[in-house]
Structure formats: structure tokens, C-alpha cells
Amino acid sequence: MKQLLPALPLILGFLLDCAVGDPYNIPHPVKLIGRLISGLEKLVRKHMRDLRTGGILLGLTVIVLSTVLPLVLLVICYHISIILGIAAETIMCCYMLAAKCLCRESMKVCKAAESGDTEAARKAVSMIVGRDTAVLDKDGIVRAAVETVAENASDGVTAPLFYMGLGGAVGAFFYKSVNTMDSMIGYRDEKYADIGRFAAKLDDVLNFIPSRMTALLMAASAPLAGLDGRNAFRIWKRDRKNHASPNSAQTESVCAGALHVRLAGDAWYFGKLHKKPYIGDDDRPVKPEDIRLANRLMYLSSVLMLIISAAARCFIFGGLL
């Protein structure tokens, strides 16, 4: 029984996230990491001419602070009491997961679209995507929400679970520090190409295995969700590279195949049209219900990743407690 204790914070953290999600009125660690990134970016731009080197220093500083501080806190808590340590790590694990938040925010789009309120759906989807939403029609809004659930199933849920399996809450903090940097400065435009290069490349490396594991887990979960697992796997093999990122299309392609819809394609960002390949086949029009089905697929694949990560955690750290 004692060997199962290392996995307990992962399991409890996942259940806590599924039950309550992120509280909006309490400071979130990822937001604090975001403020650190913004502050360091200003310092680098002000004091360093070589932005690429500055981006590396920025990245290393964020990673060290984001992992050492939780590590020190957990060491203190576990030293005081194993119960206190498990409780603290459970809360940390919960904060590193976004299943409830992703489902809650995307379902706002679903419900607004189902009621026929396109403007409300557009406003809801603008809160969870980075593209320009003013140009989207109802189908485009729904499609954007499905894509966001599919992509963030890995970034926001299964990838943190993967790193929890390797290093507990501290492993998840390490991953989220890099992932947050990528989402803030990991762009390829003129402003961020140099300062964000390190973060973007490291994020690609860290997501390489989790995104592919998630894709396979999604394909395996599809029949449980009442979706087409065979077509999910077929579209994944065909379209998993149809994205500028080496990882983003992994889960999007599986989701598109499972739903028998076509995702991705051209999109507007900051007033500029970006040409993108399609993912999936246009077997049928997209519908608001697809957002609900994408969330179901996200939860099922997350449970499978939780089982794998909990087993890995017990195997690696079972003898230390």
C-alpha cells in the first residue's frame, strides 16, 4: 500500500480538477509564471542586444524558479508530515491541469451555438483561441472550439499528467513553465523570432512524446465515446504532420477522424491571413455537438494517461516513501 502513495497526489489532483477546476478568485501559479515571463522579457529587451541569448537566459531563469520553488515547498511539507505533503502536492497537481476549465469554457461556445446565439458563441470562443474571431461564421466558431479542445487536451491535461508521472507536481511545473513561455513568446514573427526561439524549440521537444501518446490514447478512447476509432487512427497517420508545429496536429487529426469532420485550414491572426492545410475529411458539416464529443474524448484519453502516469510514478518513486 505504501508504494501507491507517490501516485496519490496525481489521482487526487486530477479528480479535484475534474470536480472544481481552477478557482477564478485565487491567484493561479501559471498566471504568476506568466507575470515572471513578462517582467523578464521587458528586462531582456531593455538591457540585451542579442535577443536570442537573452531568450535563453530568460527561459532558464523561468524554468529554475518555476521548479525550485515548488520543490522546496514540497520538501518542507513532506518533512513536516506525509499527509501535509500529499495535500500540498495534490493542490499543485490540480493547478497544473486544465480539463475542467477547458471543458467549461468550450461548452459555453457549444451552448451558445446550440441556442442560435452566434455573437455569444463568438465572444466565448474568443476567450479560448488566439485567432481573429470576427471573421468566423457559426461553423468556423464551432470548428475553432473543437480544435482548441483537441490541441489543449495534450498541452493542458495529458502532457502535465505525463510529466507528473516522471516527477510529480514538480515535473508538471517544469513542463508548464516551458509551455507557458511558448504560448507567450514562442511565435515566429519578427517581434518574437529571436527572444522566443529557445522556449518554442524546448516546448516542441517536451511535447513530442506526450502529444503522440495522447493521439494514440484518443484513438483508443474513441469507441468508448461512441466515435470512430478506426477512422481516427487513419486520419492521424495521414494528417498528423499538417501543421507548422510538429505536435499540434497529432491530437487534432485524431479528433477530426473520430468525428468525421474537417478541421484547421486558413485562419486570421492579428489581421493577417495564415494559409494552413486542412486536417481530416469533410464527411459532414461540423455541429455544436462536436464540441461536447471532443470534450468526452479529452476526458477519456486523460483517464488513460492518468493510469499510465500513476503506474510510472509508483514504479519510479514507490520505494522512497
CA–CA dist 216, 309 (Å, integer): 15
CB within 8 Å of 243: residues ≥ 6 apart: 249, 252, 264, 276, 277, 279
| 302 has pLDDT over 80 | yes
Q: Give the contacts of 33 (CB within 8 A, at least 6 positions apart).
A: 62, 66, 176, 177, 180
Q: 144 CB contacts (<8 Å, ≥6 apart)?
A: 125, 129, 131, 133, 136
- 2-31 per-position pLDDT tens digit: 677 889 999 999 999 999 987 777 778 999
pLDDT, tens digit (0-9, with 9 covering 90-100), for 110-167? 999 999 999 999 999 999 887 778 888 899 999 999 999 999 999 999 999 999 999 9
pLDDT of residue 268: 64
Check residue 132 and give its pLDDT.
78
Percent above pLDDT 90 for the chain: 79
Q: Does residue 276 surpass a pLDDT of 70?
A: yes
pLDDT above 60 for 261: yes
Q: Which of 232, 239, 223, 220 is CA-nearest to residue 301?
A: 220
Chain-centre distance of CA 94, in angstroms? 14
Angle at 12 between CA 80 and CA 5, to 5 degrees: 55
Residue type, 257: G
Average pLDDT of span 217-222 = 96
Q: Is the pLDDT of residue 223 over 90?
A: yes
Q: Is the pLDDT of residue 229 over 60?
A: yes
Question: 271: pLDDT confidence band, cut at 50, 70 and 90?
Answer: low
Cβ–Cβ under 8 Å, residues 144 and 290: no
Question: What is the residue-wise DSSP string for 182-208?
Answer: HHHH---STTTTTTTHHHHHHHHHHHH
Mean pLDDT calculated for residue range 201-223: 97
The Cα-based distances of 226 to 220, 223, 229, 281 in angstroms read: 11, 5, 9, 19
Question: What are the cell numbers at 290?
Answer: 462536436
pLDDT at 23: 74
**In 193-231, which positions are buried (b, 16+ CB within 10 angstroms) versus exposed (e)?**
eebbbbbbebbbebbeebbbbbbbbbbbbbeebebbbeb
The β-bridge partners of 196 are: none
Higher pLDDT, 295 or 21: 295
**pLDDT at position 319:** 52
What's the chain's Rg over C-alpha atoms? 20
Looking at residue 275, what is its pLDDT? Answer: 77
- Spatial contact of 206 and 179, defined as CB atoms under 8 Å apart: yes
Mean residue pLDDT across the chain: 92
Write the burial class of residue 276 (CB in 10 Å: 0-12 exposed, 13-18 middle, 19+ buried): middle
- Residue 140 grid cell: 468556423
Tell me the residue type at 256.
Answer: A
Q: How many CB atoms lie within 10 A of CB 164?
A: 31
pLDDT at 6: 86
